[in-house]
Structures are given as structure tokens and as C-alpha cells.
Amino acid sequence: MSTDRTPRIRPILDPGFDPAFLARRAMAARVRRSGVAIPVALAVEQPDGSAWRRETAVLPVGHAGSAASYRHCERLLKFMLWARGGHRVHVDGPAALHEALVRHYADEPTGLFDARFEHEVYGRGFEVVRTPRADFPSAPEAKATAGGYRDGCRIGFDLGASDRKVAAVIDGRVVFSEEVAWDPSRHADPQWHVHEIMASIRAAAAHLPRVDAIGGSAAGVYVDNEVRAASLFRSVPRDLFETRVRGLFNEIRRAWNDVPFVVANDGDVTALAGSLQAGAGALLGIAMGSSEAAGYVTRDGHLTSWLNELAFAPVDCAPDAPVDEWSGDRGCGALYFSQQATGRLLDAAGLAADAPKTLPEKLVHLQSLMAADDPRAADVYRTVGTYLGYGILHYADFYDIEHVLLLGRVMTGRGGDLVIDGAKDVLRAEEPTTAERITFHTASERDKRHGQAVAAAGLPAIPVREPGVRA
């Protein structure tokens, strides 16, 4: 295992990239070699009492590297919060570390963003407590079966930032699918959202003899079909979010006579689609759309209660790494595995002058250049591929991964092949054993665009076969 922080492969258009995978291992090695390392244990707790633990170490206050080792802990904890999620952080370590983390989440803008998000998701006050590791919470983590149902007449929808998709499925056979452009983040009226989503469901229902179940995929966090946090509704005022948006999908379920109805994070549905396609678990799904969506299916084929919001998890430790517009933090996954990545790399590739303004338009422009064999466009995709390789190595330290499914518009066309090739090059250069273990999966061009809607249709179980709602 290398502890060198210098990447063996540098991104063509981003030579200052400082992979979190290498930075974290290099700092851990530096602390170990110091001879004065102080052990630290961290745990992120969810309301059911389950917790995810990690161990590391820091240097004592006054040591030349103490500030850097604190930053190392803060980045580790940030990854834990966005990958796993929880309302309480437990720290077994020096009082100074605990106090610094308390200040970070109470006073610093990036920490406040993380704490507020976790509060919105779990409905509990976020706190950082000092706890002996022997007293860390240890309740078993709940697991949910990962969908995959095929029986009956089903509707699946997938709500993205720039388009929404819907599919009608009869006993696993797709009989209708449709994609409609929309711009939900600009609309403040919740009724507009209800109307648009219902229009897609009705379009699918028109192709079914009845509706037995409805499943949905959408960016954000959903608990019992409640919207806890979602960028789709970012323009909705807070009071309307609480009174209309939070229960929006249960409102839609009631409109369809309470048929089995499940809405899940789009990343989880990505992982579900990949698991069904590959016939295997230990799978991380990554959708490179307007942002990064991620989901995970365990080795035994289950979804988890984890957040998997890797768009906000750090993957680059460079001091001048790009800033995420939502969290204000640097080096977050959304800026590396999405249209945001390809859009910002156009300038470095010398393509910004002629590029359109919106991210979807920029990607279409990039794809057209790629189709014309423009080497500058190829450099953009190769750079994303290098990012992805180091990102997967970083993720593999936290997830049990044997399969990676890649979806989303960035992966469409010939550029997607360059992304995968670039990622494989990094894995082979940095960790050949990991490269041998991980299999990459993609989907057909149609499935890349509609596969999540089809997979979402299989989320709900139909406990008793009853007549569904007539179309």
C-alpha cells in the first residue's frame, strides 16, 4: 500500500488535483511515523441507535503537523456524514479535537451546512459528543430488501434536475417510456410539481390495464415517502416545503387509491438497477447527471439506511479545489462526477469560448466535439476518468465494492468509454489488486436514460394481488 501523496496518474486538465484517497493515507502514515500519534475513534449515529465507526489518529497540540492532522479527521468525518448519515457524532480522542469539531459544526459555514442537512434528514438536533469508544452505540443496522419486483402492472418515474422520465411495466416488460424536459428547481409553487409528476404518471397509466404499484426515483433524501431534503424543490419557501412538499408523494399515492408506492433516492435506484443487471451485490452505482448521485447494494443484495450522498463527500484535498455552490466546501464529488465537472473543464480544454451557457447545453456541445474526434473533448473525458479512478479507490476504503455501475448523461456516447478507460488506468497504476477485483458496468443507451425509471417501478412489493386503479 503506497503512502505517497503524489498521484501516479495526473488528470490531463487538472495537474493540481490532490486525491483524497492518497492524501488521507499519506497523513495517516505521517502520524504513525511520528512516534507521538494519539488514537482517535469516530462514530456517526442514526436515530435507530446504529452507528458507523472509523479509527484514525492525530498529532498532539503543538506538534508541527497537528493542524493538518485535525483537518485529516474533519475530512474523514465529513465523508462519514455524507456517506452514512446521522444526527450524532461520537468522538473518542483528545479534548482539543472534540472542541475543534464542535466549533466546526456550530460556527464554520461548511460545518453548519453539514449539520443543518443532517438535522433536516433525521429531525434531531445535530451534536458532537465525546464518548469512550467502549460506549459507542452498537444497535444492529436495519436493512431493506432491494426491490426488484416484476409482478403486476407498474409505473416507475425518475425525477432529474433537467428532465423527468416515466415507464409503464407489465410483469417486467416495458410497454411505454417517456422523457420530458423540465426545470423544477426554478418553481416555487408545490402544486406545479404535483401537476407535472402526475402528468407523467397518467401518461404511463394510459398504457396499462390497471395500476398495481408506483415507484419513484428522485435526487434527495426520502424517509417513508416523505421528502426530507431535495434539490428539486430548492425554490419552494420553507413554510410551503413543510406543509406541502414534505408529504407530496404521499399526496400523490392517495390520489392513486393508496396503491403500493415507494420513492427512493435516485442513487439507490441506480445501484438497484445495476445489481439487477449484474446479478450481484457489493455494487456501487454512480449516476453522472446534473450532479453526482450514488447508491449501494450490499453483498447480500440489500439496500441500507445510509445516505450515500457522495455529491457532498470530499474527493480532492487541493487548497484551490473548486467550490460546491450548495455547501461552499471544496473538492466535493459533484464537481468531479457530473455535468458540473465537464462544464468547468471546458475552459481548461480551451473550449469555453464557443460553449453554450447551461450545463446540459455544454455537455451536448462537448459530445458533438467528441463525435467529431476533437482531441480537446477527449481530454475532458480522460480527466473525468482519472478523477473517477481515484474516487473509486477512495470509496472502496469505505464500501465493500466488487461492481461499479456508471450511468447518467456524462457517460453517454464515446466519451463514456474514455471515462471508464481512464478510471481503469488509475486502478491498475495505484492498486492492481483492486483493479482485478472491480468490474465496471454500463447500460444500453436507452437504459442509461430510462433504466432508473424502470428499476424504480420494481421498488414496491404488492402484498396481495387486488384490482388496481383503472387508467
Residue 116 sits in the same domain as residue 149: no
**246/315 same-domain check:** no
| Total number of domains in the chain | 3
For strand 302-303 and strand 144-145, is the pairing parallel, antiparallel, or unpaired?
antiparallel
Residue 102, domain member (yes or no) = yes
In a domain, 18, yes or no: no
Instruction: Give the domain CATH number at 260.
Output: 3.30.420.40
- In this prediction, residue 466 carries a pLDDT of 55
pLDDT attached to residue 449:
57
The 3 state secondary structure assigned to the chain is CCCCCCCCCCCCCCCCCCEHHHHHHHHHHHHHHHCCCEEEEEEEECCCCCEEEEEEEECCCCCCCHHHHHHHHHHHHHHHHHHCCCCEEEEECCHHHHHHHHHHHHHCHHHHHHHHHHHHHHCCCCEEEECCHHHCCCCCCCCEECCCCCCCEEEEEEECCCEEEEEEEECCEEEEEEEEECCHHHCCCHHHHHHHHHHHHHHHHCCCCCECEEEEEECCEEECCEEEECHHHCCCCHHHHHHHHCCHHHHHHHHCCCCCEEEEEHHHHHHHHHHHHHCCCCEEEEEECCCEEEEEECCCCEECCCCCCHHHCECECCCCCCECCCCCCECEHHHCCCHHHHHHHHHHCCCCCCCCCCHHHHHHHHHHHHHCCCHHHHHHHHHHHHHHHHHHHHHHCCCCCCEEEEECHHHCCHHHHHHHHHHHHHHHHHCHHHHHHCEEECCCHHHHHHHHHHHHHCCCCCCCCCCCECC
Q: Which of 135, 156, 189 is the last residue of a domain?
A: 135
- 299 and 447, same structural domain? yes
Q: Is residue 31 part of a domain?
A: no
**How, if at all, do strands 261-265 and 213-218 pair?**
parallel
Q: Which domain holds residue 88?
A: 36-135
Instruction: Please indicate, yes or no, if residue 310 is contained in any of the structural domains.
Output: yes
Same domain for 357 and 445, yes or no, is yes
Distance CA(390)–CA(8), nearest Å, equals 10
Residue 97 lies in a domain: yes
Q: What pTM was computed for the model?
A: 0.87
* Residues 172 and 125 both lie in one domain: no
Residues 315 and 355 in one domain: yes
Asked if residue 27 is part of any domain, the answer here is no
Which value, to the nearest 10 degrees, does the dihedral of the CA atoms of residues 404, 409, 415, 420 take?
-10
What angle is formed at CA 188 by the lines to CA 186 and CA 192, rounded to 5 degrees? 95
Domain presence at residue 204: yes
Strand partners, 288: 292
Which of 244, 268, 292 is the endpoint of a domain? 268
Yes or no: say if 468 and 153 are a contact pair by the CB < 8 Å rule.
Answer: yes
User: Per-residue pLDDT for the chain (471 aa), expressed as one digit of tens each?
Assistant: 445 789 999 999 999 999 999 999 999 999 999 999 999 999 999 999 999 999 999 999 999 999 999 999 999 999 999 999 999 999 999 999 999 999 999 999 999 999 999 999 998 999 999 999 999 998 887 666 557 888 999 999 999 888 899 999 999 999 999 999 999 989 999 999 999 999 999 999 999 999 999 999 998 889 889 999 888 998 999 999 999 999 999 999 999 999 999 999 888 888 888 887 788 899 999 989 888 989 999 998 888 889 999 999 999 999 999 999 989 999 999 999 999 999 999 999 999 888 888 998 999 999 999 999 999 999 999 999 999 999 999 999 999 999 999 988 899 899 999 999 999 999 999 999 999 999 999 876 555 556 788 889 999 999 865 555 555
Last residue of a domain, one of 235, 268, 301: 268
Determine the pLDDT at residue 455.
87
Looking at the fold, whether 50 and 106 belong to one and the same domain comes out as yes
Tell me, yes or no, whether 188 lies in a domain.
Answer: yes
Strand order across the beta sheet in which 173-181 lies: 173-181, 163-170, 153-159, 213-218, 261-265
Are 437 and 382 members of one domain? yes
Indicate whether 391 and 414 sit together in one domain. Answer: yes
Residues 285 and 399 in one domain: yes
* Residues 297 and 400 both lie in one domain: yes
Give yes or no: residues 159 and 201 share one domain: yes
